[in-house]
């Protein structure tokens, strides 16, 4: 009789676990697009080289949605050799490099505390129980016991990363006497358990989406402001925001990070739970051309073969839209923002921008329009950014500008009713 009761109990428990699992799903609460390190000039004496050996790297990330279980993804996409991870921990961050010791969780990979990640590969940790807050800070600490070579990175992290001088200090409440950077290393995603109805929006773009020139450690990018708005609205609180911007990225050609066309599958289509994506990218193609090197000289005379055309960019946008639609993802496009006064501004480039923007607004290809150009341009000179939004380089907004961009987004775009209304508004008008 006891064995029958035990079997019944075990069966009930198993059923409960299945039912519980069916009511939840893994959703990224944070992402960063992996990049190959690229030098921005001669190394300064004592500057960090981007390679590690017998060191712990503690990184700060800011979540969008919360969950009660968590796992991380590490990338060796651009490493020169297999990446040996000696230990990894995740915890709630308190301040600077300090963590809440009660929240510290050692991570395992296939049940083991260490792992080797092949060149070009990603690896997901085993999940751990941790109450991850929405709009909260996590600290992820990774110890590498040997020489990593130049590490896969995300250069514009805009959050302080602490690097120990030596040894495994992944479980320490604080990392003292450490070097610091504002880049992330190897960490490409943090996923949490969320209700089955949860979903994601990927913000796909270049430095303006990455948050360049926003104030570090303030979560001042427009995707971060959008995530805060979504979380404060009960109707959208189950939507995570995945920032897949790369500073100096281009649509047609590799720059600082592979091109938007080349990374679409990795950074958007393969992300769990994605229902929407935004795209704001192309100004680097126009300003810097499509050759192998960037040109930052005002009114630069690019070789004819390196001058991007509006038709080339439009063709690329069509490819992105088509491929996203094949995966059931709605694509929200934005006209390119004003850039007069920027280092690579030119009059012909601005003509190309205006032609691209005309197609984005009237072509009917996008599922909806988020007009960041209209939000940020100066009414007195629409080719320039509003002075109160300009970070000073006439290309990137400041925190105020990024907040205005996020604040102007209609949150109903992330509902079925809003999708239908937006698509209807974007349909090309019939000529009579």
Which pLDDT belongs to residue 49?
60
* Polymer length in residues for the chain: 432
In degrees and rounded to multiples of 5, residue 368 shows phi and psi of -165, 165
Which pLDDT belongs to residue 187?
98
Outline where 310-415 has alpha helix (H): 310-326, 347-362, 372-376, 399-407
> Alpha-carbon torsion 384, 335, 214, 347, what sign?
negative
Q: Measured between alpha carbons, how far is 267 from 73 in angstroms, rounded to an integer?
A: 13
CB of 189 closer than 8 Å to CB of 71: no
Which pLDDT belongs to residue 406?
98
Which pLDDT belongs to residue 213?
97
Which structure tokens are listed for 202?
Answer: 């990927």
Helix axes 347-362, 310-326, angle to 10 degrees: 40
- Give the single-character DSSP code of 151: P
> Which residues, listed in sequence order, are joined to residue 366 by a DSSP beta bridge?
none
Which pLDDT belongs to residue 4?
37
Calculate the dihedral angle through the C-alpha atoms of 376, 377, 383, 384, rounding to the nearest 10 degrees.
Answer: -70
Domain spanning 195-432, CATH class: alpha beta
For residue 294, give every residue at least 6 positions away whose Cβ sits within 8 Å of its Cβ, in sequence order, or none: 248, 255, 284, 288, 344
Which pLDDT belongs to residue 426?
55
Which pLDDT belongs to residue 42?
37
For residue 325, give every residue at least 6 positions away whose Cβ sits within 8 Å of its Cβ, in sequence order, or none: 331
Q: Measured between alpha carbons, how far is 59 from 368 in angstroms, rounded to an integer?
A: 35
Quickly list DSSP for 159-204: S-EEE-SSS--TT-S---S-EEES-EESEEEEEEEEETT-EEEEEE
Question: Which of 337, 363, 353 has its CA nearest to residue 205?
Answer: 337
Question: Which of 345, 408, 356 has its CA nearest to residue 381?
Answer: 345
For residue 174, what are the CA distances in angstroms to 56, 65, 178, 418?
12, 26, 10, 46
Which pLDDT belongs to residue 37?
81
Using one digit for the tens of pLDDT, what is the confidence trace for 342-354? 989 999 999 999 9
Which pLDDT belongs to residue 409?
98
Give exposure, 218-252, as e/b (b: 16+ Cβ within 10 Å).
Answer: ebbbbbbbbbbbbbeeeebebbbbbbbbbbbbbbb
CB of 28 closer than 8 Å to CB of 272: yes
Mean pLDDT, each 10-residue run in order, the chain (432 residues): 38 35 88 81 46 97 98 97 98 98 98 98 98 98 96 96 97 95 97 97 98 98 98 97 96 91 98 98 91 60 82 98 98 98 92 98 98 98 98 98 98 77 51 38
Q: Measured between alpha carbons, how far is 50 from 148 in angstroms, rounded to an integer?
A: 9
Which pLDDT belongs to residue 316?
98
First to last CA, the chain: 83
Q: Measured between alpha carbons, how far is 276 from 416 in angstroms, rounded to an integer?
A: 11
Q: Measured between alpha carbons, how far is 257 from 206 in angstroms, rounded to an integer?
A: 10
When computed from its CA atoms, the radius of gyration of the chain, rounded to whole angstroms, is 23
Which pLDDT belongs to residue 175?
96
* Half-sphere exposure in the Cβ direction for 142 (13 Å, CA): 26
Which pLDDT belongs to residue 75?
98
* Half-sphere exposure in the Cβ direction for 420 (13 Å, CA): 2
């Amino acid at each position: 009789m006891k064995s029958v009761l035990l079997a019944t109990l075990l069966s009930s428990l198993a059923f409960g676990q299945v039912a519980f699992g069916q009511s939840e799903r893994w959703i990224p609460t944070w992402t960063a697009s992996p990049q190959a390190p690229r030098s921005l000039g001669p190394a300064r004496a004592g500057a960090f080289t981007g390679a590690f050996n017998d060191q712990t790297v503690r990184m700060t990330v800011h979540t969008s949605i919360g969950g009660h279980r968590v796992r991380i993804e590490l990338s060796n996409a651009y490493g020169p050799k297999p990446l040996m991870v000696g230990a990894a921990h995740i915890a709630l961050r308190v301040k600077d490099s300090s963590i809440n010791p009660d929240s510290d969780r050692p991570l395992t990979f296939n049940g083991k505390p260490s792992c080797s990640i092949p060149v070009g590969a990603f690896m997901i940790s085993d999940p751990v129980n941790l109450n991850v807050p929405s709009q909260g800070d996590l600290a992820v600490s990774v110890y590498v016991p040997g020489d990593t070579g130049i590490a896969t990175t995300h250069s514009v992290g805009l959050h302080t990363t602490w690097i120990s001088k030596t040894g495994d200090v992944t479980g320490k409440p604080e990392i003292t006497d450490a070097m610091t950077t504002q880049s992330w290393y190897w960490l490409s995603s943090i996923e949490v358990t969320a209700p089955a109805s949860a979903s994601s929006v990927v913000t796909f773009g270049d430095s303006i989406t990455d948050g360049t020139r926003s104030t570090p450690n303030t979560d001042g990018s427009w995707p971060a402001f959008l995530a805060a708005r979504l979380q404060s609205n009960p109707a959208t609180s189950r939507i995570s925001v995945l920032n897949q911007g790369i500073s100096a990225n281009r649509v047609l050609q590799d720059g600082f990070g592979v091109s938007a066309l080349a990374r679409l599958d990795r950074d958007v289509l393969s992300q769990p739970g994605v229902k929407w994506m935004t795209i704001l990218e192309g100004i680097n193609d126009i300003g810097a051309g499509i050759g192998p090197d960037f040109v930052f000289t005002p009114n630069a005379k690019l070789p004819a073969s390196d001058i991007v055309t509006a038709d080339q960019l439009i063709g690329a946008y069509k490819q992105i839209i088509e491929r996203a639609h094949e995966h059931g993802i709605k694509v929200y496009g934005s006209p390119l923002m004003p850039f007069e006064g920027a280092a690579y501004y030119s009059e012909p480039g601005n003509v190309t921008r205006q032609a691209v923007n005309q197609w984005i607004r009237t072509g009917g290809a996008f599922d909806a329009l988020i007009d960041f150009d209209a939000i940020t341009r100066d009414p007195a000179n629409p080719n320039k950014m509003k002075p109160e939004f300009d970070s000073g380089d006439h290309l990137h907004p400041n925190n105020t500008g990024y907040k205005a961009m996020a604040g102007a987004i209609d949150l109903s775009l992330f509902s079925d009713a809003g999708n239908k209304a937006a698509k209807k508004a974007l349909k090309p008008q019939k000529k009579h």
